[in-house]
Structure 1
Amino acid sequence: MNQSRTMSLRILRLPAVVMLGLLSLSACGSSSGSSDEAAKPATVAPVEGLYNNGVDALNARRFATADDQFNAVEQNYPYSSWAVNAQLMSGYSLYLQNRYTDAIGTLDRFIQLHPAHRDIAYAYYLRALCYYEQIADIQRDQKGTEQAMNALREVVSRFPDTTYARDAKLKVDLCFDHLAGKEMEIGRFYQKQHLYEAAIGRFQRVVDDFQTTNHVPEALARLTEIYLALGLKDQARKTASVLGYNYPGSLWYGDSYAQLVDDGVAPTGNSPTEAARRGFFSRAWHAVF
């Protein structure tokens, strides 16, 4: 099977962002493993045949066969360029099987042994995806989310002008939003338990550390609600001013304004939008800063 067939088979199963990294993954030619082949018994298949059988099996989602073929390449032709490529393909095969821990181990070994490989950017990206796919829901510990975010940021910093970096940036934003969601989930729990100091800490962290996420309006509204519950009307007014200044059309702002009216902190007879236009909250904003 020639080299061009190897590439065409391989890209059948890959998403567009991954495809770019593996277009160049084929070994440099059957001659690259010739010295290894010469030393092998007649019962061992040629290196090119083993590698291409692995690619065929991977495209057919016969993962056990693909793993066996790629492992055979590494074991029988360890000094060939085919073995290097087989190692990276093994990592991809493990990723497709959701065997993320095994995939990370294989990719770490590839990165350590071949730091100058032409597909090293793809190896880092695939490793980051393995962490990303393991992100737990917000009810669970978020250590995996932080690991994924760190791995994705490494892709961005090491390979800033690649397609991998562009996709990694998008996934970093999703990780960031996920972490903010976890803080909100914990904060809401504390608020329901009337553990206001702990709740304030969580909501304030969202405001301070996750400013680009869509959780900030709710965090400000809940802070306003807690300050009113504690009788801290001035603090509630100032917090609501930040909410009104930055998110004047949000439902959270409307709810907070209604609460301030009920507590006699905001003037009655105006809608939240009218109050913002008249400068009530903008004056409070300047009082905060």
Structure 2
Amino acid sequence: MTFKITEGQTAMVALRAALIAGVAAGLGGCDTLSNLNPFDTSEKYEMKVTADVPPERMYDQGLARMRNGDREGAARRFGEIGRNYPQSEWARKGLIMQAFANYEAQKYDDAITSSRSYLQKYPNTKDAAYAQYLYAMSNFNQIPDTSRDQERSEKALAGLTELVQKYPNSEYAADARYRIQVARDQLAGAQMEVGRYYLERRNYTAAINRFRDVVSKYQTTRHVEEALQRLTEAYMALGLTGEAQTAAAVLGHNFPNSQWYKDAYSLVRSNGLEPREDADSWISKTFKGFRVAALGR
């Protein structure tokens, strides 16, 4: 976009220059601000006048910086629009572009701040879904491995879920649904890692709590098969054979060809038992509830 100064803008610039010239003449030729204060011994600053840059020009400058690969510079320029013209439509456009530029620069925390600011100020605009997507993806791209704290995974999951719920027909919904599954799998993997740690140290109660969390919250992830087998192992070690049999039976009903089921079956059989589901067990109730929910969808 080529910027052209209108006649009205030219007149305003000329008027401002004339006024400034008059003020300068009235000050008797003083060329610095510090000359006005006889007690000021600080560094002297020259008096300068910066012409106003229209918001559309600032926006174009931000786009130019993006094209040149200066994403951080573009983000700063887009941000200046809101500070200089907070009530303009260009401020809204600049804010979503600021979030995008920060995201492209991998300044994810800055992108989160910009996108959240957009959602707070302009929740019902056409770019709100994109702002939500940028917020969620800025967290998603910071998901760590399963051995570390999963706060980012939780925030990514919450942001993606909100996107699907608020903007189910947006162009970002399909990708969000896929990434929801990835985030859930990551959270389940983190629980499994801690559960295995406790199991290896024979802290069976703590291990069960972790595996139970996977079975209860993350049934659609790839970790649920192992979680059921590990529950079979932990319950058997505690002598809670009924729960162990139920875990093995539920595993067999839902994943009959799984290697994890073969291991659970062998473990139960080695103790002279068979997989048998107790309908009153939390494991059985959890999976029945899951099947009903799945059929409802």
TM-score if structure 1 supplies the norm length?
0.75
RMSD between superposed Cα atoms in Å: 2.9
**Quick one: which of 154, 157, 167 aligns to 2:162?**
154
Letter in 2 for 1:70: F
1:197-208 to 2 correspondences below 5 Å: 197-208=205-216
Letter in 1 for 2:260: W
Q: Deviations over 1:46-101 (max 9, x none)?
A: 54333223112213321233134323433444443223211111111111222222
Letter in 2 for 1:69: R
Question: Residue 163 of structure 1: SS of its match in structure 2?
Answer: coil
Residue of structure 2 equivalent to 1:109: 117
Q: Distance in 1 between matches of 2:248 and 2:120?
A: 52
Q: Distance in 2 between matches of 1:116 and 1:236?
A: 51
1:165-244 to 2 correspondences below 5 Å: 165-244=173-252
Instruction: Specify which structure has the bigger relative contact order, considering alpha-carbon pairs within 8 angstroms and separated by 6 or more residues.
Output: 1
Residue of structure 1 equivalent to 2:62: 54
Q: Which runs of 4+ in 1 moved over 6 A?
A: 33-42
Query: Structure 2 vs 1, CA of residues 194 and 176 (structure 1 numbering), >3 Å: closer, same or farther?
Result: same
Residue of structure 2 equivalent to 1:285: 277
Q: Distance in 2 between matches of 1:91 and 1:259?
A: 54
Q: Distance in 2 between matches of 1:34 and 1:139?
A: 64
Letter in 1 for 2:254: N
1:120-139 to 2 correspondences below 5 Å: 120-139=128-147
Q: Distance in 2 between matches of 1:207 and 1:285?
A: 16
Deviation at 1:45, TM superposition (A): 4.4
Matched, 1:118 2:126: yes
Contact 2:76 2:98 survives alignment (8 Å): no
Matched, 1:245 2:253: yes
Contact 1:37 1:77 survives alignment (8 Å): no
Deviation at 1:104, TM superposition (A): 1.6
Q: Distance in 1 between matches of 2:271 and 2:75?
A: 67
Q: Distance in 2 between matches of 1:146 and 1:37?
A: 54
The structure that has the greater radius of gyration is 2
Q: Distance in 2 between matches of 1:241 and 1:157?
A: 35
**Range with bigger deviation, 50-59 or 157-166:** 50-59
Contact 1:36 1:79 survives alignment (8 Å): no
Residue of structure 1 equivalent to 2:82: 74
Query: Structure 2 vs 1, CA of residues 188 and 286 (structure 1 numbering), >3 Å: closer, same or farther?
Result: closer
Letter in 2 for 1:214: R
Deviation at 1:39, TM superposition (A): 6.2
Residue of structure 2 equivalent to 1:90: 98
Matched, 1:254 2:246: no
Q: Distance in 1 between matches of 2:147 and 2:220?
A: 22
Q: Distance in 2 between matches of 1:54 and 1:34?
A: 25
Long gaps (5+) in structure 2: 17-49, 285-297
Q: Deviations over 1:130-162 (max 9, x none)?
A: 122222221112222222111111111211111
**Quick one: which of 95, 99, 110 aligns to 2:107?**
99
Query: Structure 2 vs 1, CA of residues 258 and 116 (structure 1 numbering), >3 Å: closer, same or farther?
Result: closer
TM-score if structure 2 supplies the norm length?
0.73
Query: Structure 2 vs 1, CA of residues 98 and 38 (structure 1 numbering), >3 Å: closer, same or farther?
Result: farther
**Range with bigger deviation, 101-110 or 228-237:** 228-237
Long gaps (5+) in structure 1: 3-29, 267-280
Q: Distance in 1 between matches of 2:59 and 2:89?
A: 11
Equivalences, count: 245
